[in-house]
C-alpha cells in the first residue's frame, strides 16, 4: 500500500511490503484496474515521467517468481504497468533464477553513459537470506528490459574508510560472541567483528537504496553486518561497480530500509528497525557530508500510528522536480 506525505517540499513515498497489506483497507490499482505490485521500490523521474520500480510479490511466500515490476505515471496517481523491467531467469543456476529473492530495487540514470542502472538486494534460490548480495542490472531505456550484470557481496578485501587502523588488526574468536546484545558483543560489533569476519568474501548487503549527489557521484546504502550496521559505499563513475570507498555508520544500530535525500546541503536518511515484516518506529538521521558524521534525530513520523510508521516502512524519498506538484 501507499502512504504519501509531504516532508518540507519532499515527497515521502513509502511502499510497504506485501504481508503488511492485510492490515490496510485499500489497495492501489493501476490504470487497468489491476493491483499495483511493486513493493520496497523506488521512483525515477525521467523526461517528464515518473517510473516506479518495485518487487513483484506472489500471493504467498517470499520468493521472486516474476521479477522487478515497472509502472509509469505523469502525476504519481495514475500508473500504467510498463511490464517486468528485470525478469527472473529460467536458467538453472543463474543468480536470478526464478525462486531467488529480489528486494528493494532502485534505478538511477547515468548522465555520462546514458544508461539506466538498477541495483537490488538478491538472495540466491534456496538459500534463504544467507547470501546477502547486492546485484546490478542495466538498460538503455528507463522501463527496461534490464540486462543482469552481476551479483555479489560488497567490496571484498577492503576495509571501511572510517574503521581505525587498530581495529583492522584485531582478530576475533567468533565462538566467544555467539550470544548477541551483551556489552562485550556490542563492543566487538563496534570494533568491526562482522566486517572482519566477512572481509575476504565481501560485506553483506540486504535492504538498500541508491543516492545520486549533485556532483553526479552515486552511493549504495545498505544494511550490512547481519543487518546491524549501515554502510554507505561509493559507486564507480558508470554506477556499475563499487569504487572501494565506503564507511560504516551506527554499528550495532540495527537499521534497515534506508531512504536517503538531500535538502539545503544536508543529507537526511530515514530507516526502520529490524522486525522482519512487522512495522516498527521509523528513525531519522542527518549529516552535512555523506561521509558523516551522521547524527540521529527523533522519529520523523507524527500522528496516529506514527510509532509503527503508519503500518509501513521507509523505502524511498522522492524529490519532486521544481514546479511539479500533485
Residue nearest to ligand GAL (CB): 276
Residues 192-251 that bind ligand GAL (CB under 6 A): 206-207
Q: What sign has the CA pseudo-torsion 19, 22, 25, 31?
A: positive
Identity of the residue, 72 or 136, whose beta carbon is nearer to ligand GAL in the bound complex: 136
Which position among 21, 158, 274, 320 is part of the footprint of ligand GAL (CB under 6 A)?
Answer: 274
DSSP character for 87?
E
CA distance 211 to 316: 10
Closest distance between ligand GAL and the C-beta of residue 134, in Å?
Answer: 13
Single out the segment in contact with ligand GAL by CB under 6 A; choices: 92-100, 166-174, 210-218, 273-281: 273-281
Residues 12-41 that bind ligand GAL (CB under 6 A): 17, 40
Which position among 117, 257, 269, 270 is part of the footprint of ligand GAL (CB under 6 A)?
Answer: 257
Helices (H) and strands (E) in the chain, counts: 3, 19
Identity of the residue, 110 or 315, whose beta carbon is nearer to ligand GAL in the bound complex: 315
Residues 74-103 that bind ligand GAL (CB under 6 A): 103
DSSP string, 212-241: E-TTS-EEEEEEETTTTEEEEEEEPTTSSS
Residues 150-189 that bind ligand GAL (CB under 6 A): none
Q: How many CB atoms lie within 10 A of CB 149?
A: 15
Cβ-count burial 80-107 (b if 16+ within 10 Å, e if not):
ebbebbbbbbeeeeebbbbebbbbbbbb
Identity of the residue, 188 or 221, whose beta carbon is nearer to ligand GAL in the bound complex: 221
Closest distance between ligand GAL and the C-beta of residue 101, in Å?
Answer: 8
Identity of the residue, 139 or 315, whose beta carbon is nearer to ligand GAL in the bound complex: 315
Q: Cα angle at 297 between 292 and 299, to 5 degrees?
A: 135
Closest distance between ligand GAL and the C-beta of residue 241, in Å?
Answer: 23
Closest distance between ligand GAL and the C-beta of residue 56, in Å?
Answer: 14
Place of cell 549529516: 287
Which position among 256, 269, 283, 314 is part of the footprint of ligand GAL (CB under 6 A)?
Answer: 256
Single out the segment in contact with ligand GAL by CB under 6 A; choices: 134-142, 212-220, 270-278, 300-308: 270-278
CA distance 48 to 326: 13
Binding mask 284-323 for ligand GAL (x = CB under 6 A): -----------------------------x----------
120 three-class SS: strand
Residues 101-120 that bind ligand GAL (CB under 6 A): 103-104
Contact 256, 208 (CB under 8 A): no
Q: Rounded to the nearest 5°, which phi and psi values hold at 81?
A: -70, 120
**What are the cell numbers at 66?**
516474476
Site of interaction with ligand GAL (CB under 6 A): 17, 40, 103-104, 206-207, 256-257, 274, 276-277, 313
Amino acid at each position: 500500500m501507499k502512504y504519501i506525505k509531504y516532508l518540507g517540499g519532499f515527497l515521502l513515498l513509502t511502499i510497504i511490503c506485501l504481508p503488511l497489506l492485510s492490515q490496510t483497507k485499500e489497495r492501489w490499482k493501476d490504470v487497468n484496474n489491476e493491483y499495483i505490485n511493486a513493493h520496497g521500490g523506488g521512483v525515477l523521474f525521467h523526461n517528464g515521467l515518473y517510473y516506479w520500480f518495485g518487487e513483484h510479490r506472489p500471493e504467498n511466500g517470499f520468493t521472486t517468481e516474476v521479477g522487478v515490476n515497472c509502472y509509469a505515471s505523469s502525476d504519481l496517481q495514475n500508473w500504467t504497468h510498463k511490464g517486468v523491467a528485470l525478469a527472473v531467469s529460467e536458467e538453472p543456476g543463474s543468480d536470478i533464477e526464478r525462486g531467488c529473492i529480489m528486494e528493494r530495487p532502485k534505478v538511477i540514470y547515468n548522465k555520462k553513459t546514458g544508461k539506466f542502472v538498477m541495483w537490488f538486494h538478491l538472495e540466491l534460490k534456496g538459500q534463504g537470506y544467507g547470501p546477502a548480495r547486492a546485484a546490478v542490472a542495466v538498460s538503455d531505456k528507463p522501463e527496461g528490459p534490464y540486462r543482469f550484470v552481476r551479483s555479489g557481496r560488497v567490496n571484498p578485501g577492503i576495509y571501511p574508510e572510517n574503521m581505525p587502523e587498530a581495529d583492522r588488526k584485531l582478530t576475533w574468536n567468533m565462538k566467544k560472541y555467539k550470544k548477541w546484545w551483551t556489552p562485550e558483543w556490542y563492543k566487538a560489533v563496534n570494533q568491526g567483528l562482522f566486517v572482519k569476519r566477512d572481509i575476504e568474501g565481501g560485506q553483506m548487503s540486504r535492504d538498500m537504496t541508491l543516492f545520486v549527489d549533485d556532483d553526479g557521484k552515486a552511493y549504495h546504502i545498505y544494511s550490512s553486518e547481519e543487518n546491524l550496521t549501515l554502510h554507505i559505499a561509493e559507486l564507480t563513475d558508470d554506477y556499475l561497480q563499487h569504487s572501494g570507498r565506503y564507511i560504516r555508520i551506527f554499528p550495532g544500530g540495527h537499521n534497515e530500509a534506508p531512504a536517503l535525500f538531500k535538502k539545503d546541503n544536508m543529507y537526511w536518511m530515514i530507516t526502520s528497525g529490524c522486525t522482519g515484516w512487522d512495522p516498527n518506529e521509523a528513525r531519522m538521521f542527518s549529516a552535512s557530508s555523506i561521509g558523516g558524521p551522521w547524527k540521529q534525530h527523533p522519529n520523523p513520523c507524527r500522528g496516529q500510528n506514527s510509532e509503527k510508521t503508519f503500518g509501513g516502512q521507509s523505502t524511498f524519498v522522492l524529490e519532486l522536480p521544481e514546479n511539479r506538484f500533485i
